[in-house]
Structure 1
């Protein structure tokens, strides 16, 4: 085990007033005669994961309350301190560099897991990030329409074919603080017209939200704004019919982006605080109900902005049979995209009074991506 730290070492490291050994817990607490012990238990509504209550042998000797602490701690987590922002900036910077490294090294014929390996090697070897914040999503081709592709039953194992669109959603974890960045681009570094049109629609949505996301703004309204931008482009492309207002009224955006616009981020990649008792309730309609928060934005909140556009045959085929909305869908045109997959563009941002602070630094426009991926470029480590 090596040399064990002393109690004074721990006291200095964590900047706390007292440190005691665990086997002394009951005696130390009894000596302080507490009226109540506050223990942490609750559900992270952003991830549906429980905070398992901390307990110890002998806790029955005290009056304990596991209801008070969770909402207080969760609300404290929503607003980040400057020191927290420093760590989050680092996690996103090293993740951005790793994404750029993958862009340079990826090529047709490789497997999706090799892209994951390049990313994880970079954040660990260069950035000192031993862990990633979540299971890497390295989707190519049709897999790009699977929102959480990469899990155990689909382990990033497809061979990437020339012409495939990629959706690479990966982020490092540094000292417990998460990053969450998604880059979408063609594996060969050259966008087709279809790919460029869908990509630009999603990028325009991302940038529209980034421009509008200020303190006091409703996150639900930002989701609606992203839908409006993407639907406008799909209408221009002839994939949809009617007017933008009609498409919004019938919630057609949920067919192409069934997930929420983004989420709070911090110590968890889907951080706590989304639906605390004092917050607006979860929406109930498709797409919007997947929002991980419906709060109004506040300064020094950290969120992801991740609009997407996916062509999911199971969702679209069902919509084609729905008489209330089928007249708004150009079935023949949409079927041409059934093998497309999807596009997602995800940035980590800090809400500020003067506008968002974007912690993500990767090529984003079609032109920037194509220039960065030119194979004549020197490949970095």
Structure 2
């Protein structure tokens, strides 16, 4: 039998291209680098590895109708899987048992063989660790009655990602303190959901969420002073040391945040953690994920800084030292007039308690 050999350089030479464009560039969110294609004989061509990446990345920012349907599906599967976790979990479980319920439902019911990222299943003080659940902290804590759970999990279907976070009390009933912090984050989330749309600044949405949350904490007696002064001092970054959200698609932290034609990363506390500083466009798919965390080193830093400590009511905040944190994260499509929220889980205190009571 005669061996068939295919030489790609010979085939390309027949086309006589003036230049070959190869895809190479960084995902400014994840830091991952797309490596350019290589084949034997590529050296004989003029190759440009700079032009293509920003063009393809920008194409990925705006979702096509077909992509939207896949993203809607995987968000629904993940939503239902979160609801199963909330329905089944009990005090005395380990964190990984909640994760296993999510994995089982996503695969057995939704056909999602893979996750979009390592599941974060933090209970109690672990819920203040933003990326808990990695190999060094493998979701193995025993969940105690009275603990708050923060479960950040998303299934993957056909390469398309979801990223949803639910926070809830393991026993299904919010304490007064849990309700205070949860409702502060929910108010931040609701404010963004009501205002995000085509033409709105993502930086402004982050600041809106932070301002709303600090206002709620002040009403709850944890903070004192003017919210605008708190924001100017950077207190918002003590309680939410991460950005409002990120682009979502083929990567869970998708490309397109800081391309050459986009605004640069802001430098002010809080907004310097944003995954992008762009103006929203219809067709963008993003997470909205405000959070409030009681992180010991950050609290100590704030109490040691007179510019920040003047806003803190110490005897009130001290009782939250081991509280952990709350995050509420939805996957939403930006439209001309608002958002299309693909996340379907109980969100209010009353909805969560009613669902878990079943």
If the TM-score is normalised by the length of the shorter chain, which range does it land in? over 0.9
Check whether the contact 2:198–2:337 (CA below 8 A) recurs between aligned residues. Answer: no
| Equivalent in the alignment of 1:89 | 72
How far residue 368 of structure 1 moved from its aligned partner, in angstroms, is: 0.5
Q: Classify the secondary structure of the residue corresponding to 2:279.
A: coil
| Equivalent in the alignment of 1:17 | none
Q: 1:23, 1:275 → 2: CA distance?
A: 39
| Equivalent in the alignment of 1:261 | 244
In the alignment, structure 1 segments of 5+ residues that lack a partner are: 1-20
Q: 1:128, 1:294 → 2: CA distance?
A: 35
Check whether the contact 2:243–2:273 (CA below 8 A) recurs between aligned residues. Answer: yes
The C-alpha deviation readout for 1:240-283, integer Å capped at 9, x for no partner, is 11111211111211100000000000000000000111111101
Q: 1:286, 1:143 → 2: CA distance?
A: 24
| Equivalent in the alignment of 1:190 | 173
| Equivalent in the alignment of 1:357 | 340
| Equivalent in the alignment of 1:209 | 192
Using structure 2 for the length normalisation, give the TM-score.
Answer: 0.97
Using structure 1 for the length normalisation, give the TM-score.
Answer: 0.92
Q: 2:296, 2:314 → 1: CA distance?
A: 11
How far residue 24 of structure 1 moved from its aligned partner, in angstroms, is: 3.1
What are the within-5 Å matches in structure 2 for residues 163-202 of structure 1? 163-202=146-185
| Equivalent in the alignment of 1:331 | 314
Q: 1:335, 1:110 → 2: CA distance?
A: 28
What are the within-5 Å matches in structure 2 for residues 294-313 of structure 1? 294-313=277-296
Root mean square deviation of aligned Cα: 1.1
| Equivalent in the alignment of 1:227 | 210
Aligned residues: 355
In the alignment, structure 2 segments of 5+ residues that lack a partner are: none
| Equivalent in the alignment of 2:105 | 122
What are the within-5 Å matches in structure 2 for residues 28-43 of structure 1? 28-43=11-26
How far residue 328 of structure 1 moved from its aligned partner, in angstroms, is: 1.1
| Equivalent in the alignment of 2:324 | 341
Q: Segments of 4+ in structure 1 off by > 4 A?
A: none
* CA 1:22–1:81: 2 relative to 1, 3 Å: farther
| Equivalent in the alignment of 1:135 | 118
Q: Classify the secondary structure of the residue corresponding to 1:156.
A: coil
Q: 1:22, 1:131 → 2: CA distance?
A: 36
Q: 1:331, 1:58 → 2: CA distance?
A: 68
What are the within-5 Å matches in structure 2 for residues 72-87 of structure 1? 72-87=55-70
